[in-house]
Chain A
Amino acid sequence: EPEVTQTPSHQVTQMGQEVILRCVPISNHLYFYWYRQILGQKVEFLVSFYNNEISEKSEIFDDQFSVERPDGSNFTLKIRSTKLEDSAMYFCASGQGVGTQYFGPGTRLLVL
């Protein structure tokens, strides 16, 4: 069964550094999402992407964040200058049509 994959599974970085989190959505899906979950807290929506542009974004998704679909298979989340509070699990999700989303296993980001 096709799955969303994410790399790396863990990332440790220094505050102020740039990180790129990578996702390979399910191949025939058209809708792409990033969510994050700070330890012990709820899953929070960051951004959604459709037709090569951002569809929705939350207040968390400020100018430090960007998303890109550089080719036909990858979907990336870049954090330009990481802060301590960016430490979280980041989940990528994709969907074939409107509605159901399929999530990847996540990238655990630790900012020191």
Chain B
Amino acid sequence: DAKTTQPPSMDCAEGRAANLPCNHSTISGNEYVYWYRQIHSQGPQYIIHGLKNNETNEMASLIITEDRKSSTLILPHATLRDTAVYYCIVSRISSGSARQLTFGSGTQLTVLP
């Protein structure tokens, strides 16, 4: 799976949009971009994933550049409860095989009051 690069930390004001960048310049055509987050020592929480089109769900939006070498996770109105470590993970989906997720160090997002 392709490696990802994320800034180690970011701050965001409460109520503002949080934009978390991720570089994955070696991504292959069959690899998806996944975003998870981990609040304190809780289990990682799935946020969103995409292949090449932009995606939106109730939690966030995912913007993937046209060349797929980078992406941005957007939390439209950050709250204090969004303070967490955010992980960008690239993984190939393989039918009939339970593929692992490889977690990096992620970005520590701190939402400030």
Chain A residues packing against B (C-beta within 8 Å): 4, 31-33, 35, 37, 42-45, 48-51, 55-56, 58, 89, 91, 93, 95, 98-106, 108
Contacts and interface: CB of A to CB of B under 8 A. Distances in A.
Contacts of B44: 43, 91, 93, 103
Interface size class of B (residues with CB under 8 A): 20 to 34
By Cβ-Cβ distance, the 4 closest A-B pairs, closest first, are A103-B43, A48-B98, A45-B100, A43-B103
Interface string B57-93: 0000000000000000000000000000001000101
Contacts of B103: 35, 42-44
A48 B100 contact: yes
Contacts of B91: 99
Which secondary structure dominates chain A's binding surface?
A: strand
B98 A50 contact: yes
B92 to A, nearest CB: 9
A108 B87 CA distance: 21
B101 A106 contact: no
15 contacts: A43-B87, A48-B97, A48-B100, A55-B97, A91-B43, A98-B93, A98-B98, A98-B99, A99-B49, A100-B34, A100-B49, A101-B101, A103-B43, A103-B44, A106-B43
A45 B87 CA distance: 14
A31 B96 CA distance: 9
A49 B49 CA distance: 22
A99 B93 contact: yes
A89 B94 contact: no
B41 A106 contact: yes
B102 interface: yes
B99 A56 contact: yes
Contacts of A32: 98
Contacts of A33: 98, 100
B104 interface: yes
A55 to B, nearest CB: 4
